[in-house]
Chain A
Amino acid sequence: MSSELATATPAIRRRFPPVAELAICSLALVVIGGILLASYAPRRPPLGGPAALAVISAALLLTSAYLLSRLQMFAWERFFLVFRWALLAYVISAGMIGFAFIHDHTRGAPLALLVVMLVIFALDVPLTIAFTVARYSSPPHSAD
């Protein structure tokens, strides 16, 4: 997309790669993995299914981040502004969920897997929010 075209096209019609869609799929997978882990509490859960979901979820998140990083005509300043604050909020949320599991004596591999899932969760949501905000914002050089 050329600079002139991006500036002239209304924000609502601009086309972007499926960054938010991939992040939402990634979020859905960690939520399913979290449900699998939580459904076994207080017993030790089997880790195969949740671990596979976490790996696919991480791959989707990385793909989403890669597609995002290739965007040129994008309101990066606004993206990072929103991302920072949303990240703070969701790190607190994830920290609280992690605290609850640690309090309930989750240890070892299940805890490690849970932490990985919480990290993905804490990145997925801010990424989706910040991308949704920034995609409708004008490119930095245009009149806003």
Chain B
Amino acid sequence: MTDTGRVQAGNVAAAPGPPPSAQIQVVPLRGLPVVAAVVVFVIVSIAGNWLWALTFCHVVGGALWTAIDLFVGLIIGPILGRLSIPARAEFAARFMPKMVLLMPTLVLMTLAAGFQLALKEGNLAPASPNHAWLIVSYCVVGVMAVIALGVLEPANIAVLVEMRKSRPDGAVIAVLMRRFLYTAGITGLMQVATLIIMTRVATQ
């Protein structure tokens, strides 16, 4: 992304591609009922000690979270980094609102269900061969959480808010998108560690 410094204010507004700024939703409202349903399902699963549902939430949520992180960080990110600023803006305007709802929901679903499963299966007991692996996985998830919550998500939302302005600042969008792509790449790579840990845990 060497063109960042050359981006001038107003480039994005002048681009033909992105949807009109008023149409860009920072949080897609239509997705909120789905998020609410997932959260309620996870809470009911925990409250009812429902083993199948906890396994479902952890496996499905974890698979989607890992796959999306890897795909965005290692496939979409580098492609996006080589696109023109207007093309990047058009993609971001449609892609990022979905990520605002999708990723926190998947993370919450995976971690809450996973912690309960670990307790139920006895994997957190000090004598369990999986105990150390799970602590390492907490550390990996902790690093990813700080990067995602402290850097990636604020950048994601700030890009969308910038795009909603009547005169979006292309330089601001370029800097925030670069931040988003780098952090998505880092969390994508860290998901490889998660895959190794979780497959170890499942086979011990």
- A interface residues (Cβ-Cβ under 8 A, vs B): 10-12, 20, 23-24, 27-28, 31-32, 34-35, 38-39, 41-43, 78, 82, 85-86, 89, 92-93, 96-97, 99-100, 103-104, 124-125, 128-129, 131-133, 136-137, 144
Select one of A31, A86, A97, A137 contacting B142, CB under 8 A.
Answer: A31
A96, B115: Cβ atoms closer than 8 Å: no
Chain B residue with Cβ nearest A136: B172
A-contact bits for B109-152, CB 8 A (1 contact / 0 none): 00010011001000010100000001100110010011001110
> Bound complex: CA of A28 vs CA of B141, how far in Å?
12
- B interface residues (Cβ-Cβ under 8 A, vs A): 9, 27, 39, 42-43, 46-47, 104, 108, 112, 115-116, 119, 124, 126, 134-135, 138-139, 142, 145-146, 149-151, 153-155, 157-158, 161-162, 165-167, 169, 171-172, 175-176
B171, A12: Cβ atoms closer than 8 Å: yes
B154, A128: Cβ atoms closer than 8 Å: yes
B172, A12: Cβ atoms closer than 8 Å: yes
CB-CB under 8 A for A96 and B149, given A35-B142, A133-B157, A136-B169: no
Select one of B124, B135, B176 contacting A42, CB under 8 A.
Answer: B124
| B115 to A: closest C-beta gap in Å | 6
Q: What A residues does B138 contact at CB under 8 A? A: 35, 38-39
Q: What B residues does A125 contact at CB under 8 A? A: 149-150, 153
A35, B172: Cβ atoms closer than 8 Å: no
- List the 6 closest pairs (A to B, CB-CB), nearest first: A132-B154, A24-B150, A129-B154, A31-B142, A35-B138, A12-B171
CB-CB under 8 A for A104 and B119, given A39-B138, A96-B108: yes
Q: What B residues does A92 contact at CB under 8 A? A: 39
Q: What B residues does A78 contact at CB under 8 A? A: 161
Chain B residue with Cβ nearest A35: B138
Select one of A10, A34, A89 contacting B171, CB under 8 A.
Answer: A10
Select one of A10, A96, A124 contacting B112, CB under 8 A.
Answer: A96
| A19 to B: closest C-beta gap in Å | 11
**A interface secondary structure, majority:** helix
> Bound complex: CA of A144 vs CA of B153, how far in Å?
23
Q: What B residues does A144 contact at CB under 8 A? A: 165-167
**B interface secondary structure, majority:** helix
Select one of B115, B142, B146 contacting A24, CB under 8 A.
Answer: B146
> Bound complex: CA of A42 vs CA of B125, how far in Å?
8
Chain A residue with Cβ nearest B134: A39
B171, A129: Cβ atoms closer than 8 Å: no
A10, B161: Cβ atoms closer than 8 Å: no
Q: What A residues does B153 contact at CB under 8 A? A: 125, 129
CB-CB under 8 A for A28 and B154, given A89-B104, A99-B43, A136-B169: no
Chain B residue with Cβ nearest A43: B126
B151, A24: Cβ atoms closer than 8 Å: yes
> Bound complex: CA of A86 vs CA of B100, how far in Å?
11
Q: What A residues does B134 contact at CB under 8 A? A: 39
Q: What A residues does B135 contact at CB under 8 A? A: 35, 39
| B116 to A: closest C-beta gap in Å | 7
Chain A residue with Cβ nearest B154: A132
